[in-house]
Amino acid sequence: MSSDEDFSLVMEQAPPPSKDSLEEIQALIANYKKICSQLSVDQTELASVTKDNQEMTQKCRQRSVKLAQSLDEEQRSNKERIENEKATVSSLSLEEIQLMEEIQKVEVALKQEEGENEQLRQEADVFTTVPEKKVVFTGETGNAGDARKFEMNSRVVYPMEGGTALITFEDEAAANRILTMKTHQVALEGDCHITVEARPVRLMLPSLVEIASEVCPQRMLISDLPEMDTETLLNKLDIHFHRRINGGGEVEGCEFLPDSGTVVLTFVDDNIAQGLTETEFHEVQLKNKKHTVRVTPFLNGKITNLKTKWSACPRTLLLAGIPEVMEQETLQDLLEIHFQKNSNGGGEIEAVLYNPPGRRASALFEERRPPAGKGAVSRRFTGFSR
């Protein structure tokens, strides 16, 4: 068949519908139209609802995002707040520890202060109850700036080797001349002589002494005592303060101090002395009658700081290299005669001590203080022991 050929579709025609069928179709069409119209309405409503739901969903998403952001921010804020609170708590804990340490330090310092105050109170009580010392004004005056607030006299034990002698001159210049000449020939009996060497004497003396004092719980000082036999006085005091009825107790020792005329009484037990010193005045049977004595605390001293320095004796020197050629006293007299002569560089001698070879001895040096404003402190040996 060619393309130019016409063709036709022959359809078989249906028989015309009947009247009843047409009405049914029309009714069916009307029904479908109604359904279609309802579907259109439903579709429109569904589209509107879908749109609303989409908008609601979008809003919910946006709100969810905002809530998530807000939650994150709140979590971060809470975390920062918690960290800050932790830091604050840690700082407060550290501050509390520091405050507790400060409180402990203050409590320790307070206890020390209370102890020092109590010690000062006791010392003040002691100083106000020290034994009275009678003084007499002789009419002599001096510069107030020269007055010594505290006076300490040193007593130094100086070891002497054998074959040496100590000489103290009255004049410091004589001692300096002898030291400058150094070696000396001392004439003996006949044509004999000995050669000695002059050396300076250096003593180790205290330059600073700090003493802490405290009230002794076992001792007390008894003053205002009458003049009587020392042994009898000590026995009377021992018997009186040994009795419990007098507030005393077992006595360990009783010592008389001749320089002050007082007695130091020592008890075996502590705090008995404290009870007796609180009364201060006691009546004791002495010399066949009642005598009022004064009882005061006894101070114990302890050196807390000591500094020393080497000091040369300005008027005392040492002679070394002395052989044992004659009796000790004879040779000592010859040494004194030799160094007294001005022609030998010497001068007036205040004291001389000779220790023969092979022996060991000790010389005791004590300070001699002149009146205020009348010369310097000097030291000379006052004792000699072997």
Tell me what pLDDT residue 180 has: 94
Using the CB atoms, write b or e for 34-55: b if 16+ within 10 Å.
Answer: eeeeeeeeeeeeeeeeeeeeee
Instruction: Give the mean pLDDT of 288-296.
Output: 90
Q: What pLDDT, in 10s, does the model give residues 14-72? A: 555 555 688 888 888 888 888 998 888 888 888 888 888 898 889 888 988 888 888 88
Give the type of residue at 12. Answer: E
Structural domain boundaries enclosing 217: 209-304
Distance of alpha carbon 359 from its chain centroid, rounded?
47
Which 3 state secondary structure label does DSSP give 284?
A: strand
Tell me what pLDDT residue 334 has: 92
Instruction: Give the mean pLDDT of 190-195.
Output: 86
Which residues lie across from 254 on neighbouring strands? 265
Among the residue ranges 79-83, 84-88, 185-189, 382-386, the one predicted with the least confidence is 382-386
Q: Is residue 1 part of a domain?
A: no
User: Running DSSP on this structure, what letter comes out for residue 163?
Assistant: T
Q: Pick the residue with more confidence: 353 or 372? A: 353
Does the pLDDT value for residue 382 go beyond 90? no
Distance of alpha carbon 55 from its chain centroid, rounded?
84
The closest of 158, 160, 159, 164 to 324, measured between CA atoms, is 164
Q: Which of 277, 304, 331 is the last residue of a domain?
A: 304
- In percent, how much of the chain has pLDDT > 90? 37
Q: Is residue 12 part of a domain?
A: no
Q: Is residue 137 part of a domain?
A: no
Residue 210 corresponds to which tokens in the numbers above? 């700090």
Same domain, 193 and 265: no
Same domain, 79 and 225: no
User: Running DSSP on this structure, what letter comes out for residue 161?
Assistant: -
Alpha-carbon distance of 284 to 228, in angstroms, equals: 14
Q: Is residue 141 part of a domain?
A: no
What does the mean pLDDT of the chain come to?
83
Q: Is residue 133 part of a domain?
A: no
Tally of domains in the chain = 3
Same domain, 198 and 218: no
Same domain, 191 and 333: yes
Same domain, 298 and 320: no
Q: Pick the residue with more confidence: 305 or 148? A: 305
Instruction: Give the mean pLDDT of 319-346.
Output: 91
**For the whole prediction, is pTM greater than 0.75?**
no
CATH number (domain holding residue 282)? 3.30.70.330
Q: Is residue 16 part of a domain?
A: no
Give the type of residue at 188. Answer: L
Does the pLDDT value for residue 282 go beyond 50? yes
Residue 384: pLDDT band with limits 50, 70, 90: low
- Residue partners of 181: CB distance under 8 A and separation at least 6: 198, 345
Q: Is residue 43 part of a domain?
A: yes
**228, 344 contact by CB (below 8 A):** no
Q: Is residue 149 part of a domain?
A: no
The tokens 């101070």 sit on which residue?
A: 299
Radius of gyration of the chain (CA): 60
Q: What pLDDT, in 10s, does the model give residues 120-162? A: 776 666 555 555 656 566 666 666 555 555 566 778 888 999 9
Same domain, 46 and 67: yes
Does the pLDDT value for residue 287 go beyond 90? no
Same domain, 318 and 273: no
Does the pLDDT value for residue 378 go beyond 70? no
Q: Tell me how many degrees the CA angle 210-212-217 measures, rounded to the nearest 5.
A: 155
